[in-house]
């Protein structure tokens, strides 16, 4: 019997440090492939926003657990901008979760085991049908260790801080570069040393250093890996 080529629905895991271009790259890859896109970092930011707004201390675990049973996180595509935006309890909070006050606290929230368990379970439900691009910290190691394509992104911390400063300025928030560098280093440490699903490169993940790359080059890099995995001969 002649071999035939069958298109597979893949899970594409893009992990790495903050402000390396993960979300922008993942969105573009998802768009090119007509895949769903899930920004898992936005989910942790949404939980952080909820806890802060409801004045729930991060170490008040009974109230944190109650909040996890109460809050609702979803993504909706903005037809005007073409981007997926995060909704918290039915309200668009995309801009709110990108504020520096959330960046300063999100790593503390994401180390809470019950938070990670709840978010990972939701992410796995989202990707159950495959045909999805997810970016985050632990997609290739914890959420979808069987992902067909795994990319781990990194970049020089100063370059990352400069990118983050531009993003904040676009949202009307002016933050000193040194403060952003300090925030990124703190988050890197917390994310890499937490006991629950630490940030680390999966053994089978391809390293992508974006320090000197523009977004189109990052997207092409990922799509090249997808091309190698997308079609498989079956006898």
Report whether 131 belongs to an annotated binding site: no
Report whether 41 belongs to an annotated binding site: no
Pairing of strands 36-39, 73-77: unpaired
Q: Please tell me the predicted confidence (pLDDT) of residue 8.
A: 81
Q: Name the nearest CA neighbour of 166 among 218, 107, 98, 221.
A: 98
Q: Name the nearest CA neighbour of 208 among 167, 152, 168, 161.
A: 152
Q: Name the nearest CA neighbour of 27 among 88, 99, 91, 85.
A: 85
Mean pLDDT of 173-189: 94
For residue 2, count other CB atoms closer than 10 A to its CB.
Answer: 5
- Reduce the DSSP state of residue 143 to 3 states and report it: helix
Across-strand partners of 234? 4
Q: Encode pLDDT of 92-122 as tens digits.
A: 999 999 999 999 999 899 999 999 999 999 9
- Alpha-carbon distance of 220 to 209, in angstroms, equals 13
Q: Please tell me the predicted confidence (pLDDT) of residue 78.
A: 80
- Give domain 11-227's CATH superfamily: P-loop containing nucleotide triphosphate hydrolases (3.40.50.300)
> Is residue 9 pLDDT above 90, yes or no?
no
Report whether 105 belongs to an annotated binding site: no
- Alpha-carbon distance of 41 to 191, in angstroms, equals 12
Report whether 154 belongs to an annotated binding site: no
pLDDT confidence bin for 142, thresholds 50/70/90: very high
Domain ranges of the chain: 11-227
Q: Encode pLDDT of 16-68 as tens digits.
A: 998 999 999 999 999 999 898 999 999 999 999 999 999 999 999 999 999 99
pLDDT confidence bin for 73, thresholds 50/70/90: very high
The pTM assigned to this predicted structure is 0.84
Report whether 22 belongs to an annotated binding site: yes
Report whether 74 belongs to an annotated binding site: no
Tell me the Ramachandran region of residue 148: left when phi exceeds 0, alpha when psi lies from -120 to 50, beta otherwise: alpha
Report whether 21 belongs to an annotated binding site: yes
């Amino acid at each position: 019997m002649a071999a035939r080529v069958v298109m597979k629905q893949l899970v594409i895991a893009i992990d790495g440090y903050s402000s390396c271009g993960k979300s922008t790259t993942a969105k573009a890859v998802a768009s090119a492939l007509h895949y769903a896109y899930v920004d898992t970092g936005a989910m942790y930011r949404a939980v952080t926003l909820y806890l802060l707004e409801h004045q729930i201390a991060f170490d008040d675990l009974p109230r944190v657990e109650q909040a996890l049973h109460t809050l609702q996180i979803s993504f909706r595509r903005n037809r005007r901008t073409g981007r997926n935006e995060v909704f918290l309890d039915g309200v668009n909070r995309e801009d709110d979760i990108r504020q520096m006050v959330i960046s300063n606290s999100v790593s503390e929230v994401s180390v809470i085991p019950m938070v990670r368990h709840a978010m990972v379970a939701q992410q796995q439900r989202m990707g159950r049908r495959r045909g999805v691009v997810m970016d985050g910290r632990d997609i290739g190691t914890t959420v979808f260790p069987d992902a067909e394509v795994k990319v781990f992104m990194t970049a020089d911390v100063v370059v990352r801080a400069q990118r983050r400063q531009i993003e904040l300025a676009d949202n009307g928030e002016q933050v000193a570069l040194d403060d952003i560098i300090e925030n990124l280093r703190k988050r890197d440490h917390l994310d890499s040393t937490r006991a629950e699903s630490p940030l680390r490169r999966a053994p089978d993940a391809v390293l992508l250093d974006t320090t000197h790359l523009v977004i189109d080059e990052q997207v092409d890099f990922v799509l090249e890996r997808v091309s190698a995995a997308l079609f498989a001969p079956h006898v």
